[in-house]
Amino acid sequence: MASSLLRSNKLASEGAYTLDGTGDERSTTSDYVDSIEDGDLSDYSTRSARPSTTQSLLHALGLTSWRRKSGYDYEPAAKDDVPARAPKRSPQREIRRCRMSYVVGCVKRVLLATPFLILMFFGVLHMLHALLGRAQLFWDVDVSDDFLPHWGKPGRLGEGLAGYPTDATRDVLPIPCHSHNDYWRHVPLFDAIHWGCTGVEADVWLFDEDLYIGHNLASLTRNRTFQSLYVNPLVDLLDKMNPKTDFVNGSGHGVFDVDASQTLVLLVDFKTKGHEAFPVVSKQLETLRSKGYLSFWDGEKLNSRAVTVVGTGNAPFDLIVNGTNPHYRDIFFDAPLDKMWEAPRSPISRDDTLHAEDDELDYGEAMALPESNVTTSGQGKVGTEGVLSANAFNPNNSYYASTSFTSAVGF
């Protein structure tokens, strides 16, 4: 029996036979001989190692390949048992299988690597953008300094050609943004214009027949006035944007060179008594008015100009509407949006053709009611005592309509 087992082991070591009927070139005789010398043949077995979870995952992703089993189970052979010859695999089939495994592995690798490559690509772009954007911290990347740095200067090439009359706001794109409390900016008015804001706000306080700019009384100074911070700078800027040349002699150009027709809204927040401050505000706007820079209503339509003045806060609605000239107005009102509530009409009859479009509307059960407590100060309230209908606020006298978000919505 021992000779039979030794013969079987020899055949297995040569890759022709194994006791379980499969061929394996990696079987050796040393371990089996040791078991024979110990006299323990029934318990001898070499179990094939199972792949770990990591190996299984990598194999599923095509990042590794299965190895042949490292061992096979052996059981004691019966007397005179003859091992069966292991079935041979066709070389062509083996080649096809290898090629297919290679192709599948490549496809899996590409699919797995694609998202990572995309993320890496955009990450590199982001890093390059960040580095190039901060290049001036290390060296001067201003190309204009290297290419004809003296171009346009007196006595140099291009003398007198370096600038345009409207260069003050060159390349500034106007956007619908509002500079709230603009006097807090590092450079009032010009900082907002630099970023393209089409609206600025100035809080005015009337003291000693002059208008001072500030958020509260503690921030007021004698040199920070409505004229010094807003009126005079606007006049100087618009004079540059409307030069007197052989080609033009007018005042139709606004503050933005990119869009000459875009108006700049100057929102004047009346902090003191509106009826006393309004005449002073109107008087200090005279320079802009005389040069044709103010938007105005001519009794029939609104004529847009470079600057549109809107009164808010304690601005008096009655003085804005009933001015000295009923056919001219260049200061407009910030209407109270919460006062424009109107009682809903009765539901449209089902016989009306509009019912299909209107039958889903709410007719008052869930709608907010107008404010019951009437005050005489604050935004949109001064000078509105005689207003009986929301129709009193219209494009002829009101440019804005706003209200407190907290009081209107409840947060």
What does pLDDT average to over the chain?
77
In angstroms, the CA 366 to CA 369 distance is 9
Quick one: tokens of 208? 């000693």
Amino acid at residue number 376: T
| 378 DSSP 8-state letter | S
Number of H helices, E strands in the chain: 13, 9
CB of 389 closer than 8 Å to CB of 370: no
CB of 66 closer than 8 Å to CB of 30: no
In what helix (H) or strand (E) does residue 393 lie, and over which residues does it extend?
none
Query: Which residue matches tokens 């107005």?
Result: 329
Per-residue confidence (pLDDT) for residue 85, from 0 to 100: 54
- Least confident interval from 155-159, 184-188, 193-197: 155-159
Mean pLDDT of the region 262-281: 96
Q: How large is the C-alpha radius of gyration of the chain?
A: 44
Per-residue confidence (pLDDT) for residue 345, from 0 to 100: 56
Mean pLDDT of the region 355-380: 58
- Least confident interval from 37-41, 54-58, 191-195, 321-325: 37-41
Task: Write 282-287 long-range contacts (CB < 8 A, 24+).
Answer: 282/331, 284/211, 284/226, 284/227, 284/231, 285/231, 285/309, 285/330, 285/331, 287/231, 287/232, 287/235
| pLDDT tens profile 70-120 | 444 444 555 555 555 555 567 788 888 888 888 888 888 888 889 989 999
Mean pLDDT of the region 27-51: 51
Categorize the per-residue pLDDT at 16 as very low, low, confident or very high, splitting at 50, 70 and 90. Answer: very low
Whether the per-residue pLDDT at 261 is higher than 90: the answer is yes
In angstroms, the CA 145 to CA 136 distance is 13
Categorize the per-residue pLDDT at 167 as very low, low, confident or very high, splitting at 50, 70 and 90. Answer: confident
Q: What is the pTM of this model?
A: 0.60
Classify burial at 191, counting beta carbons within 10 Å of its beta carbon; exposed 0-12, middle 13-18, buried 19 or more: middle
Quick one: tokens of 232? 């005079």
In angstroms, the CA 392 to CA 95 distance is 91
Categorize the per-residue pLDDT at 21 as very low, low, confident or very high, splitting at 50, 70 and 90. Answer: very low
Categorize the per-residue pLDDT at 193 as very low, low, confident or very high, splitting at 50, 70 and 90. Answer: very high
Whether the per-residue pLDDT at 409 is higher than 80: the answer is no
Per-residue confidence (pLDDT) for residue 78, from 0 to 100: 53
